[in-house]
Amino acid sequence: MAKYLIYSIRALVAIGFIAPVYWVLVLATGYHGAAYSLPPVWIPLWHWGPLMYVITHTHWLRYLLNTVFITAATIFLVIITSALAGYALAEIPFMGNSMIFYLILGVMMLPQQALIVPQYVTIYHLHMLNSYTALILPFAANTSGIFLFRQFFKKLPSSYRDIARVEGVRTLTYIRRVALPLARPAVATVTLLTFIASWNQFQWPLIMLTNQKLQPIELALSHYLQTYESNWRVLGSAALLALLPIIIMFIFTQRYIIQAVAGGDSGAKE
Amino acid sequence: MISEVSKNNHSKIVRITSAKLLSWKKDGTGRLKSTILGYGLMLPSLLIFSVFYYGPAVFLGYIAFFHWTIFSNTSTFVGWKNFEILFNQPIFWKALWNTIYYLIVLVPTTTLLALGLAMLLREAPRIRGGGLSRALIFLPHVTPVVATSIIWVWIFNPSFGLANVILHIFHLPALNWLESTRWALPSVMIYTLWHSIGLYTVLFLAGLATIPRSVLEAARVDGAKGFFALRKVIWPLISPITFFVVVLCSINTIQTFSQIYTLTGGPHGGAGGPAFSTTTDSLLIYQTAFMYLHFSLAAAMSLVLFTITLVIIIIQKILADRFVFYR
């Protein structure tokens, strides 16, 4: 009996959490003016007209592609920098490596909101405002990525490395051909975490961009919301474009994402 | 004959191998070499961190004590002047109060609710669909803030939104939500709770999973049940993870920007409204720098926020040393 009580409470809570996301779908595919109806509409009508209009007649597809490009480039670079740095921290006894360790950890401690002004000034002086580079490069390395790879490389048997050294394999080749392929779980975790962070980026592009052509979909959505708040079907359809890829990704990888997030803590304590 | 040759070769290889390994481990030049290699591999990350994070952190101190604008390269040292101007602005104190209000309501609420949800989900493997409800509660955390804020703007709409429909079902008076000075910040809190609680729930679940079954069994045999067991047995055992959740939640809460900007920035007036009731420090920094272009003032404000964050972390660390039970 108590088991079924817990079961139903749990189901109710879960439905409550998913409901707002479900309502994006209801509003986007509902009839014109469905947003204003009282009592509210509960079931999507599957009118894909507004979504098709958004994809074919507006710039939303371009904004979506901007987001895709920025996310893909960031993931690619993060994996390279994290693998290299993680390998150095795990395997190479270089002078001052404990100091470097804390320097990397320290980046995580800097409060992002307090840095946004000087970061803008830095980007300004590098002449990088209004460019993809400004949206990608600052996020091309991150602490959690480096630590994930470091932990993974530490677990690799040292005999692999010794054999490679005897055979005269260069370190870079060894990382690329042996260590990185073996570290597939770390690659997957870093990819997922970077995907989420990069896809959901908002404040940074808001500050660094004035050129509309470069803006990611989140930024475009925000501008659109401030101008045409009452156009619910287009807003909902555009929001759907931003939501669908990440939700589909989540459905297939939720176990690994949750594991990565929950395990990230236990890893940090080591 | 043949086997003898191969044996010889084999021992030769072994000898060469160990000689090479030894030379790498003991040699002084090996040490220098590995240092160069180490820094070479670290270089991309270090470069990014120093140019985009540590550099600006140092630069922040410089801008805050100078009168400086981005368009002219002249800057004059003004000492504490920027802070003086700042402290004389009522909006600065208003934003500070909003930030603290937001923090002291949201952090305990989030922590307690996340713990409650984790307790609810704890038996997940034993009941079907346990993993699914965990995933659904976590899902909002991965959704982009603006895309989901849009739907919450609709939910909070006073005349046709879902929030008032729900209040109506429970025979409660309707609220103006984002359009009232009293309820706008709580509305943002509700959104933030919805968006972030999955993260903390999952952290608590990981913490609960580390409690050995035997401890819980022993407590049950000794008659510790329900709330008593939670308070006296489970709570102390998960206090390290609770501390981690509180620190993480405080930091994330102070940093809140996107949802305030989006939820309150509709056509009814600029973000932070109505009447500055949702203007927190991070929003004020953004507006001062990028709408009014007072970079020096914004930098001074950033330095204040930096200090507040640091103080909060230190206070929590001191409290933790007292109350957290490390096994």
The domain in which residue A187 lies consists of 61-268
**Domain assignment of residue A66, yes or no:** yes
**Domain assignment of residue A29, yes or no:** yes
Distance in Å, alpha carbon of A76 to nearest chain B alpha carbon: 13
Integer-rounded Cα radius of gyration of chain A: 23
Query: E strand or H helix at B68, and its extent?
Result: strand B66-68
Cα→Cα distances B71→A245, B75, B294, Å: 40, 11, 11
Distance CA A97, CA B211 (A): 35
Fill in the DSSP letter of residue B178.
G
* Domain identity same for A148 and A241: yes
Confidence band for B2, pLDDT divided at 50, 70 and 90:
very low
What is the pTM (predicted TM-score) of this model?
0.87
Asked if residues B177 and B158 have their Cβ atoms less than 8 Å apart, the reply is yes
pLDDT at position B172 is 86
Other beta carbons within 10 Å of B49: 24
* Domain identity same for A9 and A122: no
Report the first-to-last Cα separation within chain A, whole angstroms: 42
In chain A, how many domains are there?
Answer: 2
Give B51's contacts in chain A (Cβ within 8 Å). Answer: 122, 126
Q: What are phi and psi of B77, to 5 degrees?
A: -70, 125
* CA nearest to A28 within chain B: B151
| Six-digit token string for B6 | 């191969």
Distance in Å, alpha carbon of B180 to nearest chain A alpha carbon: 18
Among A81, A115, A226, whose Cβ lies nearest the Cβ of B266? A226
Tell if the CB–CB gap between B59 and A122 is shorter than 8 Å: yes
Tell if the CB–CB gap between A141 and B139 is shorter than 8 Å: no
pLDDT tens readout for residues B236-252: 888 888 998 999 999 99
* Domain identity same for A30 and A69: no
| Six-digit token string for B324 | 């957290």
Please return the burial class of B74, using the count of CB atoms within 10 Å of its CB with bins 0-12, 13-18 and 19+: exposed
pLDDT tens readout for residues A204-249: 999 999 888 899 999 998 888 887 777 888 888 889 989 999 999 9
pLDDT tens readout for residues B173-210: 888 888 888 899 999 999 999 999 999 999 999 888 88
List the CATH number of the domain containing A178: 1.10.3720.10
Could you tell me which residue, A92 or B129, shows the higher pLDDT? A92
Complete domains list, chain B, with CATH: 2-61 (no CATH), 83-323 (1.10.3720.10)
Sign of the CA dihedral running A105, A106, A107, A113? positive
pLDDT tens readout for residues A46-100: 778 878 888 887 788 899 999 999 999 999 999 999 999 999 999 888 888 889 9
* Domain identity same for A118 and A232: yes
* Domain identity same for A43 and A84: no
Query: E strand or H helix at A233, and its extent?
Result: helix A232-268
Please return the burial class of B112, using the count of CB atoms within 10 Å of its CB with bins 0-12, 13-18 and 19+: exposed
* Domain identity same for A34 and A67: no
* Domain identity same for A37 and A156: no
* Domain identity same for A103 and A226: yes
What per-residue string of b and e applies to B234-273 under the rule 16 or more CB within 10 Å gives b? beebbbbbbbbbbbbbbbbbbbbbbbbbbbbbbeeebbbb
Asked if residues A246 and B144 have their Cβ atoms less than 8 Å apart, the reply is yes
* Domain identity same for A249 and A220: yes
**Domain assignment of residue A56, yes or no:** no
pLDDT at position B5 is 47
pLDDT tens readout for residues B289-306: 888 888 889 999 999 999
* CA nearest to B19 within chain A: A166
> In which residue are the tokens 């260069």 written?
A170
Question: Phi/psi zone of residue A253: left (φ > 0), alpha (ψ -120 to 50 degrees), beta?
Answer: alpha
Q: What are phi and psi of A200, to 5 degrees?
A: -95, 5
| Six-digit token string for B210 | 């580390």
Sign of the CA dihedral running B171, B177, B181, B186? positive
Distance CA B247, CA B250 (A): 5
Among A6, A20, A97, whose Cβ lies nearest the Cβ of B194? A20
Give B133's contacts in chain A (Cβ within 8 Å). Answer: 10-11, 13-14
User: How many A/B residue pairs have CB atoms within 8 Å?
Assistant: 294
* Domain identity same for A13 and A67: no
Could you tell me which residue, A243 or A267, shows the higher pLDDT? A243
Q: How far is CA B101 from the centre of its chain?
A: 17
**Domain assignment of residue A37, yes or no:** yes
